[in-house]
Amino acid sequence: MTNQRGQTKHKTKLPKRLAALCLFFAVASISGIIAKQGVLFCILTLLMVVAILGRQRSAMYMLQGYTVIQLGLISMLPIILYDPDNLVVGNPSLFKLGGFEGKVPDYFIFAILILLSILQVWIAFTPKVKAYFNSKINLNIMN
DSSP secondary structure string, 102-128?
EEE-HHHHHHHHHHHHHHHHHHHT-HH
In a domain, 7, yes or no: no
C-alpha to C-alpha distance for 87 and 52, rounded to whole angstroms:
41
In a domain, 2, yes or no: no
In a domain, 29, yes or no: yes
**What is the residue range of 22's domain?**
16-80+90-132
pLDDT for the residue 40: 93
In a domain, 10, yes or no: no
In a domain, 110, yes or no: yes
Closest CA to 12 of 64, 60, 47: 60
Enter the DSSP assignment of 6. S
In a domain, 5, yes or no: no
In a domain, 102, yes or no: yes
pLDDT for the residue 9: 56
pLDDT for the residue 101: 77
Answer whether 18's CB lies under 8 Å from 123's CB: yes
C-alpha to C-alpha distance for 39 and 54, rounded to whole angstroms:
23
The number of folded domains in the chain is 1
In a domain, 42, yes or no: yes
Per-residue pLDDT of the chain (143 residues; tens, 9 = 90+): 555 555 555 567 889 999 999 999 999 999 999 988 889 999 999 999 998 988 888 889 999 999 999 888 888 877 777 766 655 555 666 666 677 777 877 778 888 888 999 999 999 999 999 889 876 655 665 65
